[in-house]
Amino acid sequence: MSLPVIDLTPFATGTPLPNTEATSTAALIDAALRETGFFVVKGHGVDPSVKQAFFDAMKAFFALPLEKKEAITIGNSPCHRGYVGFASETLEGAIAGEERIGDVLAGDMKETLDTGGEHGPDHPEVIAGTPLHGPNQFPELPGFRDAWDSYRAAVVETALRVQRSLALALGLEGTFFENQPGETMYHLRLIHYPPMDRLTPEPGQLGCGAHTDYGTITVLADDGVGGLQVRMRSGEWVDVVVPDDHFVVNIGDLMAIWTNDRWVSNPHRVVNQPNTDRYSSPLFVTPPFHLRIETLPTCRDETLRHDPMISGPYLLSRFDGTHSYRNDLLEEHNQQTTV
């Protein structure tokens, strides 16, 4: 399946908004999100060499011995940062309004490194004890931090371009989403999917189980291997084809709440490919931790489909349902299957 390809150049930082090109592009994005909740972007502002260096660093990390990766395990972090081991996260069934935790306990056939904003001890939210704010755990690999810094800065610019396009599509000021009070949470995840022929999956176990994303938008970079599948409104699962040097964008649960289901977060999953490793990196964008999310004035009609939601607690609730280090039911299952 080929998703609509959108050029984000009209939304680059420093470009006055609105402008004719940006307005017409926003209309195309609106149509895509009403149809599938996904689209592909070019003009995203990430130089191919920056992405390549980041992916090289990612591969070097996942090639480390397990004990070196587990030295920075996420369970050691007070703010959900670090290494998530194979089958330690269960995303199957983590679909807004359809949670089935308990029906499928088998963890995803992937390993990840979860990172977020780099918050020092003097950061106001760290001082206040706000969850999900604090330092990252980085591996001791030469060049890793530089590659991460460069890529993260570039892909956050991509996210800003997307947010501006969505704001215009909703009849809002172009900077509406980026100017919300507080600090937007940008969580950059590094993912490795081993080849299917090396695995013995449990029933219902996939590389990444069917789920919806939790925040407002996700910007995904991958290595071109394939495996991403999206569930269409008909219920059919289709493979997503991503052209070289393009990224995939999709919306999450909180954007569905903001837009009163004008844009619904679409379930998606990843199937491990045979005979090859797959690497990908989503940037998850979530509104500031304390922000109240409720239907936008431009999306109100006779039916309000969602109760208001506070951004941070919602995100924490989703982590509690999917990560074994935060979920006793999943942890018990993992211990039984690894004995």
Q: What is the pLDDT of residue 170?
A: 98
In the chain, what percentage of residues exceed pLDDT 70? 94
User: Which domain does 253 fall in, by range?
Assistant: 5-338
In the chain, what percentage of residues exceed pLDDT 90? 78
**b/e code 169-187 from CB counts within 10 Å (16+ = b):** bbebebebbeeeeebbbbb
Q: Tell me if residue 39 falls in helix, strand or coil.
A: strand
**Residue 157: its H or E element:** helix 144-169
For the cut 80, the answer to whether the pLDDT of residue 105 exceeds it is: no
CB atoms closer than 10 angstroms to residue 105:
22
Summary mean pLDDT of the chain: 92
Work out the burial of residue 303: count CB atoms within 10 Å of its CB; fewer than 13 is exposed, 13-18 middle, 19 or more buried: exposed
Q: What is the pLDDT of residue 335?
A: 64
Q: What is the pLDDT of residue 334?
A: 62
Alpha-carbon distance of 305 to 179, in angstroms, equals 25
Q: What is the pLDDT of residue 264?
A: 87
Q: Per-residue confidence at 337, pLDDT binned at 50, 70, 90?
A: low
Domain count for the chain: 1
Q: What is the pLDDT of residue 328?
A: 79
Alpha-carbon distance of 203 to 185, in angstroms, equals 34
Q: What is the CATH number for 224?
A: 2.60.120.330
* β-strand pairing of 38-42 with 5-7: parallel
- Stretch 218-231: mean pLDDT, rounded? 95
Alpha-carbon distance of 46 to 34, in angstroms, equals 27
For the cut 70, the answer to whether the pLDDT of residue 107 exceeds it is: yes
- Stretch 295-311: mean pLDDT, rounded? 94
pLDDT digits (tens, 9 = 90+) for 128-158: 999 999 999 999 999 999 999 999 999 999 9
- The region of weakest confidence among 10-24, 164-178, 195-209, 316-330 is 195-209
Q: Which residue has the higher pLDDT, 249 or 93?
A: 249
For the cut 80, the answer to whether the pLDDT of residue 203 exceeds it is: no
- The region of weakest confidence among 78-82, 114-118, 203-207 is 203-207
Q: Per-residue confidence at 338, pLDDT binned at 50, 70, 90?
A: very low
**Residue 131: its H or E element:** none
Q: Per-residue confidence at 50, pLDDT binned at 50, 70, 90?
A: very high
Alpha-carbon distance of 208 to 177, in angstroms, equals 29
